[in-house]
Chain A
Amino acid sequence: MTTTFSPNALCFGEEFPASGAPCLVHIEGDGLTITHEPTVSISPSERVLFTELAVSVGGLDHDQLVLKWGEGAQARTLYLKHSDLIRAFREAAPEHLNQPFEQAAERVRQMRHRHRVMWASVGGAILAVVLGLWFGADLLIELAVSRIPVEWEQKLGEAAYRDFLSHQEVMKEGPAVKAVEEMTQRLAEQIPNNPYTFQVTVVKSDVVNAFALPGGYVVVFTGLMKKADSGEEVAGVLGHELNHVLQRHGLERIVKNLGVMAAVSILVGDQQGLVGLMRQVGVELLTLTFDRAQETEADLTGLQLVYRAKIDPHGMITFFQKLSEKDEGRMEWLSTHPMSSARADRLKAELAALPKRSSEPFTFEWKTVQEALGVQPVAVP
């Protein structure tokens, strides 16, 4: 043979291998001619009339045309796969042979349609779950955070706290520390069922900032105290920070950073493995920023706390306003607490809704505190 043998179908039968013998099928006139590979020991070519054939559809995806003829040891099965060949067969074959093919094709079409519908619904379900996680993530995180015991939170916060303080100059005593302790005590008294023991430390630094770590560890910088014109203003900031702790905002951020998977594993009870993971993230606690919703929540609950503690809440508002004005100096609180006049306005509105109440002054003189911090009394002209 000079031409290369390029088979286009598979022939099955007693004398052929189980994988089928490749053969060449030609459709001509009233039947087909099947040419076998020259190596096969049977007659190299045979002719089958359309009238002898039984037609069906087979193969893994029901996309092959199956032709059967003969009986017993002579039974043959032919699998046609090439679409050109199948088309040629359908054009040449008499009507009644195409009927089972049409039915089979219809079945395949229906099946494919079913598959499409099924895949679409599976895809839809997955999408729904993803969307649910996306929008339900906050809820999930809240649920997860509520499962974390306070002792853990304290351990986590304490580690970061000690780490931070080791690099800072801590103010151990003096009017400023006393003042902050008094504020904290007055605020903490107003928190029902408080699981936290607040530990507030004054750190000598000109940074105008204060922050809270999970577990009740609060740091106030002397820069913030120098900037404040009254104890009430500092108390307002403290009220805000204590509420970050009470609302467990830090934990929420950590769990959010760890991802939804972490939330799920907390919920299903695998809490132990998470401690290590959280320790790692604990290092990042200091760089943690809260999101807008958390800030707003801490603002409002902070205001309510200050109000309950009978501390003049206007201090909080004036201080926020002061911070929102573009001012010289290092206003770190601004970078972690993006200030806007809208925030102060919201507090004003909130305060207006609360019934008027007389406030009790602190036992310390703010002037003395500030002088102890080294603020020169401003001469009134």
Chain B
Amino acid sequence: MKSEVLYPGAFPMVRVELVSGEHIKAESGAMVGSSPTVDVESKMEGGFLGALSRKLLTGEKFFFQTLRASRGPGEVLLAPTVPGEIVILELDGVNEYMVQKDGFLAGADTVNIESKMQSLSRGLLGGEGFFILKIGGKGTLVLNSFGAIHKIELKPDQEYIVDNSHLVAWSATTSYNIEKAASGWVASFTSGEGLVCRFRGPGIVYIQSRNPGSFGAWIRQFIPVSE
């Protein structure tokens, strides 16, 4: 699997080259175009119950699609639903990433994806919901974000504070706590930040430059109210 990001910026697309017989998994509905040698299959990753739990719990689509170059080499074009950047990671088999539910776009078949329940406080307050994806294994992983993706590198014990709901992915070696943005509750919410996540290294945190929830709230005011 060789991949490159086309048109980097707000409306990017990924081109993935597959050798004959190779296959990748992608978020269902992500395929834009492909060579005629590539077949689209839907596959319930982790079996029926796994897929069901992922659908019910993370809100992630029930099926991933499998794109298989079954009749010779070919290429696939993939794009996310929302405007925003795409980042390609190479997983080394040891590093694992936690990915918020909308962040996964595609991955090599050797990449493992599982739903994971967060703790109550992280689930309620972290802005990613109770269930996130834990992605490990070895191979290429393609993530997408809403807005631009910013990478934060943390040395051991280095800390960084991220507004909740700006998170895209973070390595499993980091840990985070939910905190009030300001010292008092009132100041926390009147500042517009509310709750933040305090990350502690080592590891990498990918954040998105836009907050989908806030964008939704903003756009809602322009939608005409129907009778």
Give the chain A neighbours of B203 by CB distance below 8 A. Answer: 18-20
Chain B residue at minimum C-beta to C-beta distance from A121: B120
Query: A290 within 8 Å of B by Cβ?
Result: no
Q: Which of B178-208 contact A (CB under 8 A)?
A: 201-204
Task: Bits for A35-76, please: 1 = Cβ < 8 Å to B, else 0.
Answer: 000000000000000000000001111101000100000010
Query: B100 within 8 Å of A by Cβ?
Result: no
Give the chain A neighbours of B156 by CB distance below 8 A. Answer: 12, 68, 75, 77
Query: A122 within 8 Å of B by Cβ?
Result: yes
Which of B39-47, B66-74, B91-99 contacts the other chain?
B91-99
> Do B202 and A79 have beta carbons less than 8 Å apart?
yes
Among the listed B93, B120, B172, which residue makes an inter-chain contact with A60, where contact means beta carbons less than 8 Å apart?
B172
Which of B96, B119, B173 has the largest count of A CB atoms less than 10 A from its CB? B173
Give the chain B neighbours of A118 by CB distance below 8 A. Answer: 119-120
Min CB–CB distance B167 → chain A (angstroms):
12
Query: A119 within 8 Å of B by Cβ?
Result: yes
Chain A residue at minimum C-beta to C-beta distance from B172: A60
> Do A6 and B93 have beta carbons less than 8 Å apart?
yes
Query: B155 within 8 Å of A by Cβ?
Result: yes
Min CB–CB distance A105 → chain B (angstroms):
16
> Do A20 and B154 have beta carbons less than 8 Å apart?
no
* A19 and B204 in contact, given A7-B92, A58-B175, A60-B172 (Cβ under 8 angstroms): yes
Chain A-chain B contacts (Cβ-Cβ < 8 Å), number: 70
Q: Considering the chains assembled together, what is the distance between the CA atoms of A188 and B2 in angstroms?
A: 83
Residues of A in contact (CB 8 Å), total: 27
Give the chain A neighbours of B153 by CB distance below 8 A. Answer: 17-19
> Do B93 and A7 have beta carbons less than 8 Å apart?
yes
Give the chain B neighbours of A7 by CB distance below 8 A. Answer: 92-94
> Do A59 and B172 have beta carbons less than 8 Å apart?
yes
Query: B11 within 8 Å of A by Cβ?
Result: no
Q: Which of A14-33 contact B (CB under 8 A)?
A: 17-20, 22
> Do A22 and B94 have beta carbons less than 8 Å apart?
yes
Query: A115 within 8 Å of B by Cβ?
Result: yes
Query: B174 within 8 Å of A by Cβ?
Result: yes
Min CB–CB distance B70 → chain A (angstroms):
28
Q: Considering the chains assembled together, what is the distance between the CA atoms of A81 and B227 in angstroms?
A: 57
> Do A9 and B94 have beta carbons less than 8 Å apart?
yes
Give the chain B neighbours of A75 by CB distance below 8 A. Answer: 156
Q: Considering the chains assembled together, what is the distance between the CA atoms of A12 and B155 in angstroms?
A: 8
> Do A58 and B94 have beta carbons less than 8 Å apart?
no
The 3 closest A-B pairs by CB, nearest first: A18-B153, A12-B202, A77-B156
A contact set with B: CB distance below 8 Å: 6-10, 12, 17-20, 22, 58-62, 64, 68, 75, 77, 79, 81, 115, 118-119, 122, 276
B contact set with A: CB distance below 8 Å: 92-96, 98, 119-120, 153-156, 170-176, 201-204, 227
